[in-house]
Structures are given as structure tokens and as C-alpha cells.
Structure 1
Amino acid sequence: MMWHHGGNWDGFFPMMFGGGIMMIVFWGLVIWLIVYLVRRSSNEKPYPKDQAIDILRQRYSRGEISTEEYRERLAELKDSLNV
């Protein structure tokens, strides 16, 4: 059997090129995932308009404000917060 010790680089360069692209894709996905998770965690805070309306509903349900006052304040909140 004869061994070939020549310079057969046919498989080396495509593999090196493909491996480089795969490394770039891998790190791109890792960075995208980190950015996605950071943005997602910062968006989980309750939105102020939702909080204001929830507080108003709680006060109304406890009887602290009348129906008329509830409707007026709710209309004002919706107008000012563009709900």
C-alpha cells in the first residue's frame, strides 16, 4: 500500500472557511440572545397607565370613591394616557 504525503489541501480550506462562518454565526446568536433577554426583562415592569387604572379600580371596589368620580377619573386617565 502506498501512502500519499502530498499537499492535498482540497478538504482543509473549505472546512476552515465553513468553520469560521459557523463561529461567527454562533457568537452572533449568543450576543442576540443576551440582548433579547436583557430587553425582555426590562419590559416586564408594569406600565404606569395600567397601574393607575388598577389603583382606581381598587379604590372604587373598596367604596372609597363614587361611581361618578370613578367614571370621571377613568375618562381623564384614558385621555391623558392615550389608552
Structure 2
Amino acid sequence: MWHSMWGWDGGWGFFGLMHVLWWVLLIAAAVVVVRALAGSGRPRHDSALQILRERFARGEIDAAEFEQRSKQLKG
């Protein structure tokens, strides 16, 4: 009775299922860690403000426009 109930008869049973779930969780955790370390290709929070600073430094926008747009981005 116990052998077939707990999966010790060579079938999948409870321990087979737990073994599969263990590997699924391990692989999912590895994916999360890799994405966190790689930044997952998403732009950083202040990337728009950084672009605005670069445009101001190149002279594409004046100080008044820089101030107006940076207030909009921050607020």
C-alpha cells in the first residue's frame, strides 16, 4: 500500500511530482536572477531625464524648455 501511494513503485507518484516541481522552481529562480542582473533590456527610471540633459548639453533645447520638461518628468 505505501509503496504505490508514495510513488515508490517506479511510477511518478508524489515524489516524482515533487522532483519535477523542484526543477521548475530552480529554473524559474535562475531566470529571475539572470533578468535582474541583466536589467532585462528595460530603460532605467530616469532615462528620459538623462536624454533631456543630453539634449540641453548639445544645445538642442534652451534653459527654459529644459526646466519646463524636467519639472514635468519629475513631478
| TM-score of the pair, normalised by structure 2 | 0.54
Which structure would you say has the larger Rg? 1
User: 4+ residue stretches of structure 1 with deviation over 6 A?
Assistant: none
Structure 1: gaps (5+ residues): 1-9, 79-83
* Cα distance per residue 1:56-79 (max 9 Å; x no partner): 19x78xxxx86325236x37xx7x
Q: Give unpaired runs (5+ residues) of structure 2.
A: 8-12
Aligned to 1:12: 3
In 2: Cα distance, 1:29 partner to 1:46 partner:
24
Residues 21 and 34 from structure 1, CA distance in 2 versus in 1: closer, same or farther, beyond 3 angstroms?
A: same
> Is residue 39 of structure 1 aligned with residue 45 of structure 2?
no
**Percent identity over the alignment?**
21
35-44 or 17-26, larger mean C-alpha shift? 35-44
Deviations along 1:23-73, one digit per CA (max 9) or x if unpaired, are: 01111100111111112222277826723514619x78xxxx86325236x
1:53 aligns with: 49
How many residues of Structure 1 are paired with residues of Structure 2 in the alignment? 61
The one-letter code of the counterpart of 1:14 is M
Aligned to 1:6: none
Task: Give distance in 2, aligned partners of 1:70 and 1:46.
Answer: 24
